[in-house]
Structure 1
Amino acid sequence: MVIDMNKQLTLFEDETKDKTNHIAESYTGIYAMHKYWSKKPYNIIREFILRYTEKDEIVLDPFCGSGISVTESIFTERKAIGIDINPSAIFITKQMINKVPTKLIQKEFSKLESEVKDVINSFYIVRRGDKKFIGSHFIWESGKLTEIWYKNDVKNRTKIIEKPTEDDLNLVSSFSYNKIPYYYPKDRFFHNSRINANRESHIYELFTPRNLMALSLLMDRIEKIENNNVREFFKFCFTASVGQASRMVFVVKRRGKFNGKSRKTERKEVGSWVIGYWVPKEHFEINVWNCFENRYRKIIKAKRGLEYKKY
């Protein structure tokens, strides 16, 4: 077959092969484990790899980002080289393809849970009369705690939303950055207006003192795990959950449309993280243990699907 070299071919067209209708699939399984900016659709990346390479050939991605090109190359029996200037990208990529013994992971999680869960949850105690509950979500507006969410029964089915009491305010005010006994980064941001990073701001300011205390305690315990692969797995769970535990989670007041207009929800809802590094005027403070455990369960479920996959 003769190909007209004067005609530019794109990744979506190849005169030697049939055209394919590319529709991006949603992120599931391992691709939903960890957030990464500008993540590409894995099914389209896979199609490019299958179309332009053969088995055992080398796929090089010098800007591998979330690692989707690397994982899809390996899953389709290619050899892969991933490069990125961002160490987080390399860490995430390695953890995406790294197989872990799930039984050992579950055993370590049980130990982790028994040692730190109750301590962390004690930071979010909600006292009502002679009863104690564990707060799950706290809404802040302009630096003031304005709303508390907690469950009032053993099975955690009934959500209560209330204004904070004096006890609630006293508890949260007992936390401060300079009282945290564990390591946390004290670096300043570099200036980058594209992501709202200001060199006058510190990284730790993206978290409330209470949540930073809980996160630093949790990471301190993770660092003590002896098995390197297991320790790196839990660091992956930690970094995947840390954004949800930050002050960057905004409050949603309008969702959906009614008669062509956005409608207000009766209650406030949890939004996603903001794009860039800034704190919305009204934002959530979410229980750190809940953030971590929820992400752990999603990741371990995805990892089980890799245990018997050959690569």
Structure 2
Amino acid sequence: MNAIQETNFNFPGQTGFYRGKVRDVYAFPEKLIMIASDRISAFDVVLPRPIPFKGQVLNQTAAYFLRATSDIVPNWLLDTPDPNVSIGLKCEPYAVEMVVRGYLAGHAWRQYRDGHRTLCGVALPEGLRENDKLPTPIITPSTKAHEGHDEDISRDEILKQGIVQESEYVQLEQYALALFARGTEMAAKQGLILVDTKYEFGNLDGKVYLIDEVHTPDSSRYFYADTYEQKQQAGEPQKQLSKEFVREWLIANGFQGKTGQTVPTMSDEWVHQISKRYIELFETVTGTLFQPDEATEPLTRIENNILRTINK
């Protein structure tokens, strides 16, 4: 498979370039071109092998949900000229990620298991088990790190440090909860539970926009609704659609992104399994059949599609 590890284009009118954990971002005076590579990250570390079709899944899932939530909050997306490419407005990002949690899973559960009863300034009740539904969805923000680990932070600390002004932060909270409610409704129609997710916002000319990805396997966790209650009552792990299975595999193999730890070897079969899980998530979440783009020269395809759009 011709998995896309990275891109190194130089487009007419380009003013900047940034390589994130997963996306390669090309800046223009008023727009951004984001190319979703097939890189995969966990514990804020880019793993050594790309996953075939992961970028396409990520890009097309994000576009699907951006279009489906545009009535709630304006978003940055203008065009998707290629399976791996999104073009949108260039906004000034807020330096926080709005993480919304409806269930006690993943990082939140690991904190709770270790005895913490407050997460990002939000008090959690006693007696919860892993994957239990929370009384009401909560927002547990994190600071957006360009390198290294994102850090949990409380609402009070965000306002105290002046990272976001209070009037704007209230708006981000309202948008995040409304988006989570919409995502929950859409997931339910597909037999899924939206467990937790993260949203990123930016500002353009004094207006808040939803930016980056939305409700994708990299930013969200889903459970299967039909087996949720049965598995909770039996104390069994939930069947889920998310990147958590990759994190669990890494943890089982002695890696959590800590200093001195080495990423375990990823076999061809394991890479294939990850690819299959990403495609399964796309089809299950969107209710549409995934059409893999199997171009033998995906970088040429991407460059040509972008150039055609730029030259329009």
Normalising to structure 1: TM-score of the pair?
A: 0.28
> Which protein shows a greater Rg?
1
Higher helix fraction: Structure 1 or Structure 2?
A: 1
Higher share of residues assigned strand: 2
